[in-house]
Amino acid sequence: MNYRDVSKVHFGGDDVSLYGTPKEELGPGQLCVGAAGAPPGVEPKPSFLKNQLQALFQPTDNRLAMKLFGSKKALMKERIRQKAAGHWIIHPCSNFRFYWDLCMLFLLVANLIILPVAISFFNDDLSTRWIAFNCLSDTIFLIDIVVNFRTGIMQQDNSEQVILDPKLIARHYLKTWFLLDLISSVPLDYIFLIFNKYRDKEDFNESFQILQAGRALRILRLAKLLSLVRLLRLSRLVRYVSQWEEVYILKNHRKKHSERRSPAGGSDALNRRKRKPYNVYNIPFFKFLNMASVFMRIFNLISMMLLIGHWSGCLQFLVPMLQGFPSNSWVAINELQDSFWLEQYSWALFKAMSHMLCIGYGRFPPQSLTDMWLTMLSMICGATCYALFLGHATNLIQSLDSSRRQYREKLKQVEEYMAYRKLPRELRTRITEYFEHRYQGKFFDEEMILGELSEKLREDVINYNCRSLVASVPFFANADPGFVSEVVTKLKYEVFLPGDIIIKEGTIGNKMYFIQEGIVDIVMSNGEVATSLSDGSYFGEICLLTNARRTASVRAETYCNLFSLSVEHFNTVLDSYPLMRRTMESVAAERLNKIGKNPSIVSNREDLTNDCKTVNAIVNALASVASTEQCDGGTSSEESMMGHDGSSMKGGGRHHHHHHHHNLLDLGSIGKALAKGHLPRPKSENNFALSLDTPSPLNRNRPSFHKSDTFHKDTSFQ
């Protein structure tokens, strides 16, 4: 069947295709047009069971399939290609193959544990339940061979192209796993038992039968050992399950994410657009799964070591049993020949684990040559597994928190550097405190991580990291989103310790700073602390506009997390937003005018004087409203100096924070003045007023200032 013939296949039902996919997702050439030989206008319906079985063999839109094929359209083409390959071809990305491999895995685990115990510690006259278990297992393994002949193969060099040709599948399987699977699936022990029983009926020589009785018993046990070969298939099934584990952990997330997509238009689509993005990693259950997957890898290592110990214990008892329990064997020395099987297994396991962990020889050291060789073999296996276990466990534990490990390594290098340079103890302490506050126990190469992301993702990450800053700075909170986005992507995160000089008086300003967290003091040339700024404030922008030198120093009073904007990036952003440049120039000119300096150093615009008048009117209105609220609400003069964030040394600023924003929203007259004035308004009506109020003085038991004087104190040293 070629690709054109697929369009002639009837899919059954009115809404669902043969592939279990809604017909609207199919192309127009893929819709059914009737089957060959059907009467005109009549479409024969295939059986429901056949449709369901074939749908199970189709690849589903799980994570593995989407990773291989990239999109639902490509997945649809793969379904058509799989159908064209022939009936009953199982796709490796289908639900049937996943659940089949899962059942095979459970069956193999049962065989891993039960078969060695049954062969080593039980007689040949086994119960009916054991015979039924063996027959069922062998039958399923034989069916698995048939399933493998009909399952597509993912190529290692080109995983996107799945081999679906039955001849190529059979050829590949015959060259790889077929012989091992066949030997491990054929019940050689029961075949030998039936053959021996048939032979006994024809042979009437009693002496020959007696001679062969003991020998047949040993041969039967050796034949049963061949069934252990099937356990080697565990590695292949583990590979399948590990591929599907990641798929089905996030299967529900993919379904919910796809349900959020709908055609444009309609109230349902609009409601879906209003929903918040569904982030699976915000769910505690999935966070638990992420941690559980790491510990599961450690658990697998421990389980593998215990499994090898289990096999070694069974082997320790099996070999003496095949020899007839010689008098110098450890079983005969411990008088365990006729003991209950659980007691025999317990002593054998103790002996094997003692060898593997290299802590002893068990209850007695080896007395025979066979025991000695078994002991050496067990020791070699144990030492190898123990070394692998320690290595893997160490790597897994380190990978649990690689960022913390990198931080410790980085801090160790810094300590060695400080010792090499013989830095004084006080300086070493400050450097250590800086690293502790800057990285907080985790080290990331953030620049490299962001550099590897796409531009959109990088912008989203930076905006998320700066969300608290944008929310706390009114200048950002009410500005044009495009302007804010450009500024935020150019910010650089910096950390300062208490006592660090952020800005030094007399230097040329090349940065402005936004305070995310912390308190800074404005120190005049005479050493007096004029005022303090806190979260959400910004400073240093006037020097970027005027190219002047700093007229005061800024010192960190507490641990400060700041974001800096260089003069190059500052000018680049303002060149793209001339209205924001004019706004900042007007504010800076008014501030310079307040302290008696020439406003024209900011700009030579002819309308700068009119802008300054508009700004002055806004400042006076703000001061008047603030004074009225202080009188009506009993707000102290010290609280009138609170910044927009409302933080204070005494904790009384939250109340003022509320009234401050309320006043801004009620200043309708100021909004009208801005609309009628020559000064262009930003996106928000209150943005200009907020930008004036950004410097946030804190209450430090200093003389109180009027609202208009606040700008004088804040801006004379910018």
Instruction: Assign domain 449-715 to a CATH class.
Output: mainly beta
* pLDDT surpassing 70 at residue 280: no
Highest mean predicted confidence (pLDDT) among 64-78, 230-244, 489-503, 679-693:
489-503
d(CA 585, CA 582): 5
pLDDT band at 554; cut points 50, 70, 90 = very high
521 DSSP β-pair partners: 532, 555
- Give mean pLDDT, residues 6-34: 41
pLDDT tens per residue across span 31-61 = 444 444 455 555 555 577 777 777 788 787 7
DSSP string, 281-335: GGSHHHHHHHHHHHHHHHHHHHHHHHHHHHHHHHHHHHHHHHTT--TTSHHHHTT
Alpha helices in 440-555 (DSSP H): 446-451, 455-465, 467-472, 474-477, 481-489, 541-546
Q: What is the pTM of this model?
A: 0.53
In 10 A of CB 12, how many CB atoms?
19
pLDDT at 413: 94
Cβ atoms of 625 and 648 within 8 Å: the answer is no
pLDDT tens per residue across span 212-225 = 555 555 566 666 66
DSSP string, 53-94: HHHHTSBPSSHHHHHHH-SHHHHHHHHHHHHHT-TTPBPTTB
* pLDDT surpassing 60 at residue 309: yes
Six-digit token string for 625: 């409203």
Domain ranges of the chain: 88-274, 280-400, 403-444, 449-715
pLDDT tens per residue across span 320-376 = 887 888 888 889 988 888 889 899 999 999 999 988 887 877 777 888 888 889 889
pLDDT band at 137; cut points 50, 70, 90 = confident
* pLDDT surpassing 90 at residue 518: yes
Six-digit token string for 400: 């649990």
pLDDT at 161: 74
Q: Which of 128-132, 268-272, 432-436, 522-526 shows the lowest per-residue confidence on average (mean pLDDT)? A: 268-272
pLDDT at 652: 37
Residue 429 to residues 413, 520, 629, 646, 683: CA-CA distances in angstroms? Answer: 15, 21, 47, 33, 47
Residues 6+ apart with CB under 8 A from 291: none
pLDDT at 193: 67
Per DSSP, 23 falls in state G
Six-digit token string for 657: 């924070």
* pLDDT surpassing 50 at residue 632: yes
* pLDDT surpassing 80 at residue 686: no
